[in-house]
């Protein structure tokens, strides 16, 4: 049964974003926190005893609903300005659940610089389910127009910034164009890179927002999770149906971990973002081609600033030579070599998009010498010193004198 109440936050004063992240409301009428525990308890149970032989109570079975997950989902709906939010087992699950809104013969329009796993899912749907995806450069809303079909287009899937090229698209303009031409189409934004602390796509015209909760929302690389936030009640019911039918709702323990992580999102993101800005400035000062929406040199600096309250903590840069980039990555001592981002450590990475075939990467202008930096909360001076020595060791930087920009 569906136990998650709609977000009921209109009844009280709204605080500033960092406060709202910490302040967890008790879902109205949920009876989910009988003892007023300051930290929402973990309801580690698969099933719930009933008092009636004919009617089920608020909760009956954890696949269908669990009080710990309800608290989390209610909190997520609030911070994402959604009518309802759902917590599932991974970011890819969130994307898969949303993709199930598309029927065979319908179409998707998606960016050409999407996370590799999303690209893999869309390729699977194309090959096996007769669901075609048109990949376009979403930085230019005009290029979407020729692919819009009044009845066939079902989803328009956007990332902004994109992973890993850090391209920006205009959520409001694209939403208006698509909604006007295709009443059946839904705008889906993967907001993983920004987190709801920095950007709220539902307020900009999107219909559905998804997150890999594995990243900033949880923040410690100790959890896999996904989030789906929805504006429309009918769409939300369809999403809930799929989650219950397929059994991919987030477990009670992971729901508790994610709720705990969300409370510290603002402090982590503020520090990570400030570190990222210093590192981007350092790299640009030394002549590297850096893509980071906090730099005025980013071609969509102003558009990004209009849509969000900060540039985030992921940036990418090129060295001009693939083997030099590999040496840079391998020469760092402090920066771990690992995929994923959003954690409290930092990592250089050119592995996350290995699932996109080399030919497709080339066709979409994905530079093989790209290094993606996912900046953590360490002392920025240590991160810069380590990056500097790695650049010098790899021969990417001739001048080994460490100058701050």
Give contact residues for ligand LKTG3HHF (rule: CB under 6 A).
115, 117, 163, 339-341, 349, 352, 355
Q: Choose among ligand LKTG3HHF, ligand PLP, none what residue 181 binds, the Cβ cut-off being 5 to 8 Å by kind.
A: none
**215 classed as catalytic:** yes
The position carrying tokens 């048109």 is 134
Q: Does 163 bind ligand PLP (CB under 6 A)?
A: yes
Residue whose entry in the numeric block shows the structure tokens 């960016």: 111
How far is residue 123's CA from residue 241's CA, in Å, rounded to a whole number? 24
Closest Cα to residue 80, out of 220, 218, 159, 194?
Answer: 194
Is 201 a residue that touches ligand PLP (CB under 6 A)?
A: no
Strands 107-111 and 132-136: parallel
Nearer to ligand LKTG3HHF, 163 or 278 (CB): 163
Instruction: Single out the segment in contact with ligand PLP by CB under 6 A; choices: 84-92, 254-262, 269-277, 357-365.
Output: 84-92
What does 275 bind: ligand LKTG3HHF, ligand PLP, none (CB cut-off 5 to 8 Å by kind)?
none
Alpha carbons 400 and 222: distance in angstroms, whole number: 36
In 3D space, the residue among 162, 185, 161 whose CA is nearest the CA of residue 175 turns out to be 185
Integer-rounded Cα radius of gyration of the chain: 22
Task: For residue 226, state whether it binds ligand PLP (rule: CB under 6 A).
Answer: yes
| Binding site partner of 318, from ligand LKTG3HHF, ligand PLP, none, Cβ cut-off 5-8 A by kind | none
Closest among 145, 357, 101, 96 to 237, alpha carbons compared: 101
Using the structure block, give the residue that is written with the tokens 């709906």: 77
229 membership: H or E segment, kind and range: strand 226-230
Contact pick of 64, 133, 175, 214 for ligand PLP (by CB under 6 A): 214
Q: Give the nearest distance from C-beta 212 to ligand LKTG3HHF in angstroms.
A: 6
User: Binding of ligand PLP at residue 223 (CB under 6 A)?
Assistant: no
Closest distance to ligand LKTG3HHF from the beta carbon of 355 (Å) = 5
192: contact with ligand PLP by CB under 6 A? yes
Choose, from 115, 197, 216, 292, the residue flagged as catalytic.
115
**Annotation says 263 is catalytic:** no
Q: Which of 112, 190, 254, 369 is catalytic?
A: 190
Query: 298-303 long-range contacts, Cβ below 8 Å, gap at least 24?
Result: 298/166, 298/168, 300/139, 300/167, 300/168, 303/168, 303/170
Q: Estimate the share of the chain in helix, then strand, then coil, as percent rounded to the nearest 5.
A: 35, 15, 50
**Separation of alpha carbons 70 and 349, rounded Å:** 35
Residue 401's contacts (CB-CB under 8 Å, 6 or more residues apart) are none
Q: How far is the CB of 225 from ligand PLP (least distance, A)?
A: 7
In angstroms, the CA 274 to CA 160 distance is 19
Nearer to ligand PLP, 110 or 193 (CB): 193
Write down the least CB distance from residue 127 to ligand LKTG3HHF, Å: 17
The answer to whether residue 257 forms part of the interface with ligand PLP (CB under 6 A) is no
- Active site (annotated) includes residue 115: yes
CB of 96 to ligand PLP, least distance (A): 9
Strands 347-349 and 289-291: unpaired
Site string for ligand PLP, 120-159 (x = CB under 6 A): ---------------------------------------x
Of ligand PLP, ligand LKTG3HHF, none, which one does residue 355 interact with (CB within 5 to 8 Å by kind)? ligand LKTG3HHF
Show which residues are catalytic: 63, 115, 190, 215
- Residues in contact with ligand PLP by CB under 6 A are 90-92, 115, 117, 159, 163, 190, 192-193, 212, 214, 224, 226
């Amino acid at each position: 049964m569906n136990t998650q109440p709609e977000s009921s936050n209109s009844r009280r004063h709204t605080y500033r974003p960092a406060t709202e992240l910490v302040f967890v409301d008790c879902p109205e009428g949920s009876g989910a926190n009988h003892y007023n525990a300051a930290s929402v308890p973990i309801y580690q149970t698969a099933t719930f005893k009933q008092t009636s032989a004919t009617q089920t109570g608020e909760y009956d079975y954890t696949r269908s609903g669990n009080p710990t997950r309800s608290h989390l989902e209610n909190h997520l709906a609030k911070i994402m300005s959604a009518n309802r939010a759902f917590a599932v087992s991974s970011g890819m699950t969130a994307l898969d659940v949303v993709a199930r809104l598309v029927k065979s013969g319908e179409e998707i329009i998606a960016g050409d610089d999407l996370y590799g796993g999303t690209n893999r899912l869309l390729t699977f749907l194309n090959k096996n389910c007769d669901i075609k995806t048109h990949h376009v450069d979403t930085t230019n809303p005009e290029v979407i127009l020729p692919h819009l079909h009044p009845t066939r287009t079902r989803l328009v899937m956007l990332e902004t910034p994109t992973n890993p090229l850090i391209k920006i698209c205009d959520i409001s303009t694209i939403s208006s164009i698509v909604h006007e031409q295709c009443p059946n189409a839904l705008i889906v934004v993967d907001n993983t890179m920004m987190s709801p602390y920095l950007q709220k796509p539902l307020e900009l015209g999107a219909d559905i927002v998804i997150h890999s909760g594995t990243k900033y929302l949880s923040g410690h690389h100790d959890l896999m999770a996904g989030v789906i936030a929805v504006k429309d009640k009918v769409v939300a019911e369809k999403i809930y149906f799929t989650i219950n039918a397929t059994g991919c709702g987030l477990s009670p323990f992971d729901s508790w971990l994610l709720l705990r992580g969300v409370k510290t999102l603002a402090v982590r993101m503020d520090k990570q973002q400030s570190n990222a800005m210093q590192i981007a400035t350092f790299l640009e000062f030394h002549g590297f081609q850096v893509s980071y929406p906090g730099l005025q040199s980013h071609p969509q600096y102003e558009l990004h600033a209009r849509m969000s309250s900060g540039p985030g903590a992921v940036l990418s840069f090129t060295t001009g030579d693939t083997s030099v980039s590999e040496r840079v990555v391998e020469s760092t001592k402090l920066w771990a070599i690992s995929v994923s981002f959003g954690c409290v450590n930092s990592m250089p990475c050119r592995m996350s998009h290995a699932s996109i075939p080399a030919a497709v990467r080339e066709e979409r202008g994905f530079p093989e010498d790209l290094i993606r930096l996912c900046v953590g909360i360490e002392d920025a001076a240590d991160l810069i010193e380590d990056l500097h020595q790695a650049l010098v060791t790899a021969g990417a930087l001739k001048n080994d004198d460490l100058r701050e920009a």
